[in-house]
Amino acid sequence: MRKTIIAGNWKMNKTVEETKSMLIELKKLMTGKESVEVVIGAPFTSLESAVKAVEGSRISIAAQNMYPKSSGAYTGEISPEMLKDLGVEYVILGHSERREYFKESNEFINEKVKCALSYGLTPILCIGEKLEDRENGRTLEVNEKQVREGLANLTNEEAVKVIVAYEPVWAIGTGKTATPEMAQETHKEIREVLKAMFGDTSEEITIQYGGSMNAKNAKELLAMNDIDGGLVGGASLEAGSFIEIIKAGL
By CB under 6 A, the residues from 81 to 100 that bind ligand 13P are: 95
Tell me which of 39, 82, 142, 232 binds ligand 13P, using CB under 6 A: 232
Q: With CB under 6 A as the contact rule, which of the stretches 16-24, 25-33, 79-87, 204-212 interacts with ligand 13P?
A: 204-212
Tell me which of 53, 113, 231, 239 binds ligand 13P, using CB under 6 A: 231
Tell me which of 123, 168, 210, 249 binds ligand 13P, using CB under 6 A: 210
Q: Which is nearer to ligand 13P, 234 or 249 (CB)?
A: 234
Q: How far is CA 175 from CA 136, 161, 169, 232, in A?
A: 22, 30, 12, 12
Contact 205, 156 (CB under 8 A): no
Instruction: Report the nearest approach of ligand 13P to the CB of residue 236 (Å).
Output: 7
Q: Which is nearer to ligand 13P, 80 or 229 (CB)?
A: 229
Contact 80, 116 (CB under 8 A): yes
Q: How far is CA 4 from CA 63, 78, 206, 222, in A?
A: 19, 28, 7, 9
Number of residues that bind ligand 13P (CB under 6 A): 14
Instruction: Specify the amino acid at residue 232.
Output: V
Using rule CB under 6 A, residue 213 touches ligand 13P: yes
Contact 84, 121 (CB under 8 A): yes
59-63 and 90-93: which strand pairing? parallel
By CB under 6 A, the residues from 115 to 174 that bind ligand 13P are: 167, 172-173
Nearest-CB residue for ligand 13P: 233
Q: Which is nearer to ligand 13P, 95 or 191 (CB)?
A: 95
Instruction: Report the nearest approach of ligand 13P to the CB of residue 213 (Å).
Output: 6
Beta strands in the chain (DSSP E): 5-9, 37-41, 59-63, 90-93, 122-127, 163-166, 207-210, 229-232
Give catalytic residues, as residue numbers.
Answer: 95, 167
Secondary structure percentages of the chain, helix, strand, coil, to 5? 45, 15, 40
Q: Which is nearer to ligand 13P, 13 or 57 (CB)?
A: 13
> Given the rule CB under 6 A, which residues bind ligand 13P?
9, 95, 167, 172-173, 210-213, 231-235
